[in-house]
Amino acid sequence: MTIVAVPKVLREKLGDEVADAFIRLINEAGVDTKKELASKEDVTKLREDLRSVEASLKEDMFKLEARLKDSMNKQGASLKDAMNKQGASFKEDIHKLEANLLKVETNLREDINKVETNLFKVEAKLSENIIMIKGELTHIKWMMGTMIALVIAVLGLVARTFFR
C-alpha cells in the first residue's frame, strides 16, 4: 500500500478529519486503479493480438492495392482504346472535310472561270456596241451636217428668189 503524506499547510486548512478522509479516498482510488491495471500476460497477449491485426491489415492492404492496380490498368486500357477510336473517328472526319473542301474549292474555281469568261464576252460585246454606236454617231453627225448645209443652201436659194 502506498503511503500518502498530506502537507502541513493543507492539513491545517482542511483539518485532521477532512485530511484523513482525503487520504482514504486516494487510497481507495489507488486500489481500484490497481485492479484495472494490465498484467504482463495481458500486455503480451495484447501485443500478439496487435501483431495479428497488423499482419491482417497489411495483407488486406496488399490485396486492396493489387485490386486497385488491376482496376486502374483496366480503366487505363479502356481509356486508351476509347481515345484511339475517337482519334480514328476524328481523322476520318477530317479527311471527309478535306475532300469536301477540295470539291468546294474546285467548284468555286470553275464558277470563277465561267464568270470571268462571261465577263470577257460581255466586255467584248460592249466594246463592239460602243464602236458601233461611235460609228453611227459619226454617221449621224455627217448626216446632220449635210442636212444643215442643205437647209442653209435651200434657205439661201429661197431668200435669193424672194429678195431679188
Q: For residue range 38-48, what is the model confidence (pLDDT) as tens digits?
A: 678 878 888 89
In whole angstroms, give the CA distance from residue 134 to residue 149.
Answer: 22
Whether 33 shows a pLDDT value over 70: the answer reads no
- Of the chain, the percentage scoring pLDDT greater than 90 comes to 65
What is the chain's length?
164
Round to the nearest angstrom and report the end-to-end CA distance of the chain: 183
Cα separation, 29 vs 33, in Å, equals: 6
Distance CA 154, CA 148 (A): 10
Chain mean pLDDT for the chain: 88
Q: Is the pTM of this model over 0.75?
A: no
Domain ranges of the chain: 38-126
Q: Which three cell numbers stand for residue 79?
A: 481509356
